[in-house]
Every structure is written in structure tokens, then in C-alpha cells.
Amino acid sequence: MSIFEHVAGASTGLLDRRQLLAEGFSEDEIRSARAAGTLVRLYRGVYALGLQIPGARRPLEVLRIIGVAARSPSMVVSHTSAAVLHDLPLWLADPTVVHLTREPGGGSARTPGRVVDATRVESDEIVMVNGILVTSPARTLVDLCRGSAFEPAVMACDYVLHHRLASPLDLATALDRARHRPGNAAARRAIAFADGRSESPGESRTRVLIHGLGLPAPQLQIEVSDRFGNAVGRTDLGYVEDSALIEFDGKVKYGRLLQPGEDPSDVVVREKEREDAIRAVGTSVMRIVWSELNRPLMLERRIELTRLQGRALRDAGATSGRLRARRPIRVEPAPSSPAGDANPTNTR
């Protein structure tokens, strides 16, 4: 039997060097399999098949985390590694380093490819994912935000709230428990800014950019209806009082809108028809693409022009429909309480 066949038959898809040697494979065979790409080194002495895992966004990172966690069963996968297992969006983060947390007293440790943090984790902050112990989405998010810049932290927060991986109460409680840990103030800012109405990382980044420019905060998920009350469409964000609407254009969004039997051009045509209908009720509409997020001053001018055009339509009496933003999905601070008193519900 080849190493390829042996690993393919393993229940987890993972093998370590000692196991391979014990079962009769030589060092030369292991080296040859690695050179051929049959085996991929995930961590010291831990290997996986050099194949993609169907449905996994970061397949090798997932296997690496499982392999490292299996060697430390008393520890909990946390921080960026937990975010990978919960499939949270990660931007400006390194998912190749496996992060674990253990009870205080053992001390923190850092080795190549692995970081161990010594911090208390409550029993209701632990869930099982892929058969290993992982911090809950709420605890993961707070840990992630404590060490992240504002923009990537908001992206992750919006995602968690939008996909209901944790409730606002879960996040408020996790924040309160972490109130004495380094970086908690940064986590509070990001979570307070987060809104589960943001449906994509691009929308989250757009909100952060608008905030950084000092522009008024836009409303999110604005539903547009005509003068008879018929639904016309919905836009990502905008300014209801200015009759100015903003759409974020991303490849993921167009892929999500693709229906069976359609190609991307069908989505483009349908989106154009929807936008025309929204404009017809007397609104100014602009679209933002990823590259424009790196040109904030130009984007600021476009947003201000769109608002100016919308106000002109409004003042001229050209608006004939109704704009209404959906209710926010936000986190309210929980009452301060001793760590461990609250009991948020596990969501996964």
C-alpha cells in the first residue's frame, strides 16, 4: 500500500511521522511523498493529503489546526484558528499559525507554527467543531477583535451578527468577561460599531471607510417601494433623508445572485433592471467596487456628489417612492458583572 492510499483511508485524513514509521513506511518514502505533493506538512510531524477538502474555504489551515489540536487535547483552539474553524472572514491575519488557549498557571508559549495563550475559558465558551474543542463564536470574536485592527475586526463582527453565529447578548457578555484583558477597549469599539445588516465584507469595509472619512453614518439595507407601496428593490446602504443609495459590487454578491441555468451576464442584466426601477422612483444611486476602497478621497467625492444629486431630486419633487432602512442588528453593552456569572447560549 502506498502512503497516498494509507492516508486516504485514514478517518481524519491526518497522519503523523511516528505512525507512518511504525507501520513500515521509510523516511525516504515520506520524503518522496512530500516532494511529490502527496503529503503536505501541516505541523511538526503532522501530514495531510495534498488535496483540497470539498466545501472548505481554507482546507489546509483546517487540517493543520486539527492536527495540532489533536496533540494538545486539553487545550482549546482559539483566536484566529477558532475563526478559521467557524469560517469567519479573516483579513490582514495569518491563519497558518495555530492558536490554542489553556488554563492559567501553565503559562503562555510560542513555538514555530503554534501559539499558546494562558487565559481562563468558561465551560459555556467552548463548543465542539470537527471533533475538537474550540472557543464559541462569541468568545472567538472578542479574542480576535482584541488583537486586530478596527477594519478587519468590524468585518468579522458584522459576519457573526449577520449569520447569527452569536446573539448580541452573547457578544455583550463575552466583552464583559474580557474587560480586564489587554485589547478589550479595541474589541468594544469594533463590536459597538458592528451591525448584522451588513451582508458582505465589502459592505463592512465601506462602512468603516465612510466612518473614517468623517461622513454621516449611512443607513443599511434600504428597502425601496414605489408610490403605490409595491416593492421595487433593496440596496446595501445609503442616506434615506437625501434619497441617495449606495450598492457595493463584489464578485461574491453576483455569484450569490446566480440562479440555476444562468450565467453572470443574466445577473448583470437583472441587476441593471432593478437599479433602473430604483432610480425611477426618484433616487440617486452609486456603485462601489473593491478597488475604490483603496482611494478614499475619490470615493468621498463620489458619495458627496450622490447625496447632492439625491437632495436635488428630492427638492425638485421628483421622488415618488418610499425608502425605509431595516432595523439595526447591534450589540448593547451588558451590565457589568463578575466574569463567569453570565451564561450565554452556545450557538454551535
Q: What is the pLDDT of residue 300?
A: 96
Q: What pLDDT score was predicted for residue 50?
A: 56
What pLDDT band is residue 135 in, cutting at 50, 70 and 90? Answer: very high
Residue 63 predicted with pLDDT over 80: no
Over residues 337-346, the mean pLDDT reads: 39
d(CA 101, CA 79): 9
What torsion, rounded to 10 degrees, do the Cα atoms 29, 32, 33, 37 define?
180
What is residue 311's predicted lDDT score, i.e. its pLDDT? Answer: 96
What pLDDT band is residue 344 in, cutting at 50, 70 and 90?
very low
End-to-end Cα separation, the chain, in angstroms: 39
C-alpha span between 322 and 225 (Å, rounded): 5
- Nearest CA-CA partner of 267 in 292, 289, 249, 242: 249
SS3 52: coil
206 alpha carbon, distance to own chain's centre:
15
Residues 245/224, Cβ–Cβ less than 8 Å: yes
Share of the chain above pLDDT 70, in %: 79
Helix 150-162 crosses helix 137-146 at what angle (to 10 degrees)? 170
Is residue 7 very low, low, confident or very high in pLDDT (cuts 50, 70, 90)? very low
- pLDDT on residue 238: 96
Inform me whether the pLDDT recorded for 304 exceeds 90.
yes
* Per-residue pLDDT, 14: 64
> Is the predicted pLDDT of residue 342 greater than 60, yes or no?
no
- Whether 338 and 202 have beta carbons less than 8 Å apart is answered as no
- Give the whole-angstrom CA distance, residue 53 versus residue 64: 12
Per-residue pLDDT at 9 exceeds 70: no
Give me the pLDDT at residue 275, please: 84
What does DSSP say about strands 244-249 and 126-129: parallel, antiparallel, or unpaired?
Answer: unpaired
The pTM of the full predicted model, rounded to 2 decimals, is 0.78
Beta-carbon contacts of 313 under 8 Å, excluding residues fewer than 6 positions away, are 243, 282, 283, 284, 319
What are the two backbone dihedrals, phi and then psi, of residue 306, each rounded to the nearest 5 degrees? Answer: -65, -40
Q: How confident is the model at residue 39 (pLDDT cuts 50, 70, 90)?
A: low
**Quick one: average pLDDT of 162-170?**
95
Q: Which of 48-57, 267-276, 312-321, 325-334 has the lowest mean pLDDT?
A: 48-57
Give the Cβ contact number of residue 178 at 10 Å. 20
- What per-residue confidence (pLDDT) applies to 343? 38
pLDDT value at residue 72: 84
pLDDT band at 13 (very low <50, low <70, confident <90, very high): low
pLDDT attached to residue 149: 93
Q: List the single range of 12-21, 33-42, 73-82, 260-269 with lowest mean pLDDT.
A: 260-269
